[in-house]
Structure 1
Amino acid sequence: MGRPVALVLLFCLSLLNLCSELPLNGSRPAFVTTLGEMVRDSFGAPRQLLFDQYQRRFPRIPTAQPVTIVEIDDKTLAGIGQWPWPRNRLASLIDAIAAQKPVAIGLDIYMPEPDQTSPDKVADNLPPAAASLAANLRRLPSHEAILARSLRATPSILGAAAFDHSAFATSTDMRSAPIHLHGPDPLNKVQRFNYVLASLPELQAAAHGQAMLNVALEGGTVRRIPLIMALGDKLVPSLPIEMLRVATGSSALDVYTNRLGVQAVGVADVLVPTQPDGDLWLHFASIRSTLNRYVSASDILQGKVDADRIHNKLVLVGLTGSGLTDMRTTVLGELVPGIEIQAQVIETIFEGHFLRRPAWLKSAECAFIMAFGLLIIWYFPRTDSRLARFIRAVPKSSAILGLSLNLLTLYSCLLIFKYFGFLVDAASIFIILSAVMGCFFSTALLVNETRPSLGAAHAQVGEDDRDRASKPPG
């Protein structure tokens, strides 16, 4: 009975494992969708936990620091004023950063509504008796105009947030750089949104780029970040890749696709491999190793920061003050500001240290599981094999053998991660092959347990026969 059960388990579990990693978007047969949703947690959760452990065992060690984060922190808020600031004050910060000649300034901030402290807005709220004052205020430039002038004079990029539903101040489009497509259209493969919360059109027109700030959350943890997304029927970039476009002076981004989806995103001479949905697996560095990239905005405004911290750097401006920032959990178990994740993406691209899980790797895993599983089904039940004799002779040998094989698989996958950056799914290999081996190990244990009982029964029968033979006839 071991072989038929093992064969059924091998094929069924392999199919469920395959379905668990298929993307939710895109067209798929109905039964595949149903199976994928049923087992996504069964195989997906162990897989993600394993990939997290890879990174915790071997976190990325930064070798360069191309990014400086100018943080609007508690110190800045205490000295300059609460958030949101008037737009002219934000313009002063951008001007102070631009004076040190960075290669790009990315704002992890979006401004979809007019500044109510702008002179024209203040004039609108004055009583009729202050008509002369109101007229003078309206002659002054608006705060949006001041900020737009600063954005236009610097290599600036504005952030935006994509939504799949309409909300207050959302729109259906934003200005973005051209994207040159090399291959089939990936609109049905990438994350697709219908609405965006972006800055005012006046500010968008002044900035040198616009980009999405969205990250991919899985169970509350950030593991991947989309480099390319869809807004309606248009492809739009994420903040890290758009900052590189502006920094290199490129007029457009390149997206390389095939029938499976997005393969890579390119800018200038940089090519970043992605998952078919346009996501980048992010190899995290510990926040402890990146704290020196942070500079307080108040120190920038007061001229207390060395020019080396800004000059020729990619500068990110964002909120880290208490209650203002969106904190995110990384695979290292650390709670970091959202802007830190954007910085780590840029840093990873500069280092060229990418984590990869290409489509062929899943196929290779399935082939390995099927080949090794069929080898187990063919070899383990052979009673004349050395393995069978070993299992019968050595107590608990089946458990020792299973544990050794799985530890060897896990160690091999760890080495592949460390030296090549491939995310090999040792968790699914362990689950499926352990189930197949269990069909035969349990049978072997039952045989070992029943043999002494059978021997005792035979001995008892022999003893009864001798007793009857020794008695004189009746």
Structure 2
Amino acid sequence: MKRYYDLWLARIKPLLKTAQGRPVALAVLFALSLLNLSSEWPSNLARPAFVTTLDDTLPDSFKSARQLLFDQYQRHHPRVPTAQPVTIVEIDEETLASVGQWPWPRNRLAALIDAIAASKPLAIGLDLYMPEPDQTSPDKVADNLPETASTAALAAGLRALPSHDAILAGSLRAAPTILGAAALDHAAFATSIMLRSAPILVHGADPLPRVLRYDYVLASLPQLQAAAHGQAMLSVALEQGVVRHIPLIMGLRDELVPSLPMEMLRVATGSAALEVLTDAAGVQAVGVADVQVPTQPGGDIWLHFASIRSTLGRYVSARDVLQGKVDPDRFHDKLVLVGLTGAGVTDMRTTPLGELVPGIEIQAQVIETIVEGRFLRRPTWLKWVESAFIMGVGLLIIWYVPRRQSRLAVLIRAVPKGATVIGLLLHLLNLLCCFYIFVRFGLLVDAAAIFIILSAVMGCFLSPALLHQQEQNRLEAVRAQARQADQDSTGKAPEA
């Protein structure tokens, strides 16, 4: 191992000493800056083939560090809710134990919707999808009866009753309801390629090439879709198992479809359509009524999460709703979400705060964020500002640090570790400034890339000083050993 280290050291030392290390530092600055850009290439700029190759060769080169940094921003400054526009009716373990296991007969779900609708909510979003007919409906039960004379009258009577799907359709039609649908990349049983959703008006360039797109959807029965007042996609973007981005609009083949939060706001405001504002860079905003939500070019938003501990007050057990134990004010003029939270029947998601929350909680936080108007943003221009800052400071370091008479050069020669301390203090200042921008303006500035690239550039000049110091220490050790050997051979202390 030491042999390889010495060989590497012998090859790198001449390069670091050439022109006082400036060529190596320049190469490091430009190479890492390009790698950083390739990991988050601006959408308004054509992506060269070599950049794609570079990103494929070194995937997640800067992306992982960036994501972890942004997670730390949120952990140190989570959103504190200032309003509670959403109430979640959770089909929890207590409800399942009391009412029955999931899936329920749909007349029971209809009763739950009727109970909520009696308190006049603005909209009711179902984080559920029902692609198959209810097998507990009277007509389905009749079909399973033996064909005998004794059961003929019973079967006829059952078929004369309304199906559970028809009962649920009546409840959906009578209340401002929105049905969810699962987005899929592949065909499966009961999937389709269409969704009965409200129109989306586009102002500007076609956003379909930019947004998250799917080929199939697992939606509720056409009878239920026709009865509900809106349809929406249930989808979150996972990055290393963590939810950071939430799409507000998506593509289903060649059609734009809304997310559940945006469709609920459309129904709540009585709007006929959603609006999408785009330009050459992609989607700039998604709007409904007088609300416009600034988005990333892909039609998604970075969600500023609140801790689950601060949102537990929005949860109401479906059991209590069915038993009439819930104050009507919990639903009146509220946006109500209905979903599963019971163990084994819910999808749990990890947030940047490190918390495991039900998927329906994420939908609620999106609505809450839009109502409060508190958005996290990472606009395209911010990447250019970061790149310009890195290049400017990097070139300043390359010009100034190697100058033999500069104060920093004298310090590096005298106290190599002192320069390291100064560098760390400057990077701490960089991190604090970026965190302040996050807290004050909601902008996600990539302090990680600034730290990594500028540290590498500075290291090109610190390394020769450290290598020189290492050589001096080695020579001193050799001299000390020689003096000790001479003393042992003569039996006298060597002369000073």
The reply to whether TM is greater than 0.5 is yes
> Out of 373, 396, 399, which is 1:352 matched to?
373
CA contact (8 A) 2:125 2:177 kept: yes
Pair 329,234 (structure 1): closer, same or farther in 2 beyond 3 Å: same
What amino acid is aligned across from residue 385 of structure 1 in structure 2? S
> Out of 338, 347, 350, which is 1:326 matched to?
347
CA contact (8 A) 1:328 1:336 kept: yes
Please give the secondary structure, in 1, of the residue aligned with 2:210. Answer: coil
Q: Tell me the alpha carbon deviations over residues 427-460 of structure 1, each in whole angstroms, 9 at most, x when there is no partner.
A: 1111111000000111233445667999999xxx
The yes-or-no answer on 1:19 pairing with 2:65 is: no
What amino acid is aligned across from residue 159 of structure 1 in structure 2? G
> Out of 172, 176, 181, which is 1:151 matched to?
172
How far did 1:217 drift? 0.3
How far did 1:397 drift? 1.6
Runs of 4+ in 1 over 4 A off after TM superposition: 447-457
Structure-2 residue corresponding to 1:462 = none
The yes-or-no answer on 1:185 pairing with 2:197 is: no
What amino acid is aligned across from residue 22 of structure 2 in structure 1? R
Separation in structure 1 between the aligned mates of residue 244 and residue 454 of structure 2, nearest angstrom: 27
CA contact (8 A) 1:319 1:325 kept: yes
Separation in structure 1 between the aligned mates of residue 138 and residue 29 of structure 2, nearest angstrom: 72
Structure-2 residue corresponding to 1:267 = 288
The yes-or-no answer on 1:246 pairing with 2:267 is: yes
Separation in structure 2 between the aligned mates of residue 454 and residue 131 of structure 1, nearest angstrom: 105
Please give the secondary structure, in 2, of the residue aligned with 1:42. Answer: coil
Structure-1 residue corresponding to 2:358 = 337
> Out of 314, 319, 324, which is 1:303 matched to?
324
The yes-or-no answer on 1:412 pairing with 2:469 is: no
Structure-1 residue corresponding to 2:190 = 169
> Out of 454, 464, 467, which is 1:443 matched to?
464
Please give the secondary structure, in 2, of the residue aligned with 1:356. Answer: coil
Please give the secondary structure, in 1, of the residue aligned with 2:58. Answer: helix
CA RMSD, Structure 1 to Structure 2 (Å): 2.0
Please give the secondary structure, in 2, of the residue aligned with 1:408. Answer: helix
Q: Tell me the alpha carbon deviations over residues 173-226 of structure 1, each in whole angstroms, 9 at most, x when there is no partner.
A: 010010010110011111110000000000000000000110000011111110
Instruction: Map residues 58-457 of structure 1 onto 2, 5 A cutoff.
Output: 58-129=77-148, 130-447=151-468
Pair 19,265 (structure 1): closer, same or farther in 2 beyond 3 Å: same
Pair 27,399 (structure 1): closer, same or farther in 2 beyond 3 Å: closer
Separation in structure 2 between the aligned mates of residue 206 and residue 35 of structure 1, nearest angstrom: 50
How far did 1:126 drift? 1.5
Please give the secondary structure, in 2, of the residue aligned with 1:401. Answer: helix
CA contact (8 A) 2:394 2:454 kept: yes
Separation in structure 2 between the aligned mates of residue 452 and residue 192 of structure 1, nearest angstrom: 61
What amino acid is aligned across from residue 156 of structure 2 in structure 1? A
The yes-or-no answer on 1:34 pairing with 2:53 is: yes
Please give the secondary structure, in 2, of the residue aligned with 1:196. Answer: strand
Please give the secondary structure, in 1, of the residue aligned with 2:257. Answer: strand
Please give the secondary structure, in 2, of the residue aligned with 1:180. Answer: strand
Separation in structure 1 between the aligned mates of residue 90 and residue 144 of structure 2, nearest angstrom: 33
Please give the secondary structure, in 2, of the residue aligned with 1:132. Answer: helix
What amino acid is aligned across from residue 386 of structure 2 in structure 1? E
What TM-score, normalized by structure 2, do the two folds share?
0.89
Please give the secondary structure, in 1, of the residue aligned with 2:338. Answer: strand
- The answer for unaligned runs of 5 or more in structure 2 is 1-17, 479-496
Q: How many residues were matched structurally?
A: 457
Q: Tell me the alpha carbon deviations over residues 331-358 of structure 1, each in whole angstroms, 9 at most, x when there is no partner.
A: 1100100000000000011111100000
Please give the secondary structure, in 2, of the residue aligned with 1:40. Answer: coil
Pair 416,123 (structure 1): closer, same or farther in 2 beyond 3 Å: same
CA contact (8 A) 1:69 1:295 kept: yes
Separation in structure 2 between the aligned mates of residue 179 and residue 109 of structure 1, nearest angstrom: 23
Separation in structure 1 between the aligned mates of residue 348 and residue 154 of structure 2, nearest angstrom: 44
How far did 1:391 drift? 2.3
Separation in structure 2 between the aligned mates of residue 23 and residue 91 of structure 1, nearest angstrom: 47
How far did 1:303 drift? 0.7
Separation in structure 2 between the aligned mates of residue 51 and residue 419 of structure 1, nearest angstrom: 15
Please give the secondary structure, in 2, of the residue aligned with 1:271. Answer: strand
What amino acid is aligned across from residue 44 of structure 1 in structure 2? K
The yes-or-no answer on 1:8 pairing with 2:18 is: no
Pair 32,456 (structure 1): closer, same or farther in 2 beyond 3 Å: closer
How far did 1:122 drift? 1.2
Please give the secondary structure, in 2, of the residue aligned with 1:211. Answer: strand
What TM-score, normalized by structure 1, do the two folds share?
0.93
Separation in structure 2 between the aligned mates of residue 455 and residue 91 of structure 1, nearest angstrom: 86
- The answer for unaligned runs of 5 or more in structure 1 is 458-474
Q: Tell me the alpha carbon deviations over residues 77-106 of structure 1, each in whole angstroms, 9 at most, x when there is no partner.
A: 111111100111100000000001110000
Separation in structure 2 between the aligned mates of residue 350 and residue 240 of structure 1, nearest angstrom: 11
